[in-house]
Structure 1
Amino acid sequence: MDRTQLTPDLSLSRIVYGMWRLDEDADTSPAHIQAKIEACLAQGITTLDQADIYGGYMAEELLGAAFKAAPDLRAKCEIVTKCDIVAPVGRYASAKVKHYDTSRAHIEASVDHSLRLMNIERIDLLLIHRPDPMMDAGETGAALDGLVASGKVGAVGVSNFKLHDWTLLQSAMETPLVTNQIEISLTANAAFTNGDIAFLQERGIAPMAWSPLGGGSLMTGDHAAGKALDAVARAQGVDRAAVAVAWLLAHPAGIVPVMGTNRLDRIAAFSDALKVEMDRETWFALYEAANGAEVP
């Protein structure tokens, strides 16, 4: 599988396994999680996407149990995780209200929690999960720079940031931000026209795409986008998911889809997206079906 180079020392697999639903599986045993990781590795998918808040602050710990049971797995993977969302559940059950915290103390404490819970010594890529309207860019930037300098974090980026959020934070940092993980899918395609992707393309930065299957909506239903996906899927011997992901992979921005499922058969089929031929006319046919109209 091709890889996306974010820094001289860090590359991600072209498709990433997202673990936000890890706790929702009926089987959360270390052996079952190990089976999911190995199903990814068999396809060349080496990057695992986490966040402190996933699973009510439990998903990182589930991954850590798998690493503890099978220590050799860690060296085969890149670990992405996120911080700054404080929700009144889990270890933050006493919080009075859901909020964002990009203070230095919170970011550093979150990183230490994540390292301990995942049984790892280094986070390959740390993302600020959501833009914080109370962010002190100088403080946040210094915290991120310090974590990279300490070796606890290999590289840093953001998630769900608009260009002005990005430039504000980057202006206060020495370390380059290396990605923005945003919602991108066939049906959630505003990023292609609102400047989000263009901003990153201008800087040669690959976006990561969360919810690339529209939260599962692209996989079911008799909607126009689904029918268009089915037509391509039938012609190429794959399923809707493979075509929807191939649609993202075909874009010159170098989008890195983050795929989330607990089903081993679906995990094993992630790389089917690489088999799909996606020419420009097919890309636009899908785009127009999703938008309900031809382009102007």
Structure 2
Amino acid sequence: MTATNETANSRLIYGCMGLGGPWEGNEYGSAYVDQAAEAIDAAMRIGITLFDHADIYRSGKSEAVFGDVLARTSGLREKIQLQTKCGIRLSQPGVQGHYDLSKGAILERVNGSLQRLRTDYVDVLLLHRPDPLMEPAEVASAVGQLMAEGKVRQLGVSNMSGAQIAFLQDRLETPIIANQLEMSLHRRAWLESTVLVNHDDALGYGFPHGTLEHCVSHGIELQAYGSLAQGRYTGSTPDAPTAADTETAALVAKLAEEKGVTPEAVLLGWLMKHPARISPVLGSSNPTRIAACADAVAVAAAMTRAEWYGLWVAARGKSVP
């Protein structure tokens, strides 16, 4: 079973948070640039062209090593799309970490990302997290300026509910085109909320009901970070595995063997089978694990309803209500 590069292009995203070395400090060596180059190459070999960043990843070093790869690889920028995020300020001595979607902060952070990435523009800017002090008019002014200057081409959000998106969109002149959320077979609040209406178990899931529906009905792409569940079902044993974890990992392995694909492809295929057309973000910096995701699109297309529900029921550890 093999997915074409053209098909994978539109569905898989490479998440660059693992590039650039430790989170501490601002310095990095050439080995981390080489690691980034290998990860980028592995992603492009399976058809990925959208690369996801944030200004805070590895304290800016993820963007910096990526920029070094762009600078040394002629023509690479024209072959890919870049997405980055702003809105989170990490803790510093004497200053608590906080959110900042003020106009000045957005302009400052985007300009910093462009310098580190060594590019004149990003294809998509995501607002990283909701800021309770956000003024939608300020955001609209900042985004409008960045677009007028050619520094940002499209706008998205991350970790926002449907209501928050609608509130922000009301003041924007450009459409919000993406919402990045944690979504996987393990982190299932996005899915459980759709079937636990009028059910006591709904109290155990805080995902804002209606967010998926809002995004789908408004043409907002759902991007899933943590899509491989940190390897929980594909080889990395969690610290305290549950019976459901063990059963799910066994079922993933069984389906992978039957279909002649990798467990990673099965896990991503399950996510991509959902009619919301979820786009998984792959966060591994390991080229082998990146390559293992190549057949995800084909697995999604071939997965039966019984197989899809079987994986969900195994992961939740009990039947659906």
Give the TM-score normalised by the residue count of structure 1.
Answer: 0.90
Q: Report the counterpart of residue 52 of structure 2 in structure 1.
A: 49
Give the counterpart letter for 2:306 in structure 1.
E
| Residues 159-194 of structure 1: CA deviation (Å, up to 9, x unaligned) | 000112111111111110001000110111221223
1:121 is matched with 120
Q: What's the RMSD between the two structures over aligned residues?
A: 1.9
The equivalent position to 2:10 in structure 1, one of 6, 13, 28, is: 13
Q: Does 1:61 align with 2:64?
A: yes
**Is the 2:184–2:227 Cα contact (8 Å) retained in structure 1?**
yes
Of 76, 82, 86, the residue aligned with 1:83 is 86
Q: What is residue 154 of structure 1 aligned with on the other side?
A: 153
Rounded Cα–Cα distance in structure 1 between residues aligned with 2:138 and 2:14: 31
Say which one has the larger Rg: 2
Shift of 1:57: 2.1
* 1:231 equivalent in alignment to 2:246: no
Instruction: State the secondary structure of the residue aligned to 1:71.
Output: coil
- Which residue is 1:251 aligned to? 274
- The more displaced of 27-36 and 78-87 is 27-36
Cα deviation per residue 1:85-105 (whole Å; 9 max; x = unaligned)?
0002xxxx4561000000000
> What is the DSSP-based 3-state SS (H/G/I as helix, E as strand, rest coil) of the residue aligned with 2:82?
strand
For residue 75 of structure 2, give the secondary structure of its aligned residue in structure 1. Answer: helix
SS of equivalent residue, structure 1 residue 58: helix
Query: Retained in 2: the 8 A contact 1:19–1:48?
Result: yes
Whether 1:36 and 2:34 are equivalent positions in the alignment is no
Report the equivalent of 1:278: 303
Matched-pair identity in %: 35
Decide whether the 8 Å contact of 1:188 with 1:214 is kept in 2. Answer: yes
Query: Residue 98 of structure 1 aligns to which amino acid in structure 2?
Result: G
Provide the rounded CA distance (Å) in 2 between the counterparts of 1:108 and 1:75: 24
Whole-angstrom distance in 2 between the partners of 1:74 and 1:151: 16
Equivalent position of 2:285 in the other structure: 262
1:154 maps to amino acid: R
Report how far residue 238 of structure 1 moved. Answer: 2.1
The unaligned stretches of length 5 or more in structure 2 are 23-28, 195-208, 238-244
C-alpha deviation, 1:139, in angstroms: 0.6
Aligned length, in residue pairs: 285
> Contact between 1:86 and 1:95, CA under 8 Å: does it hold in 2?
no
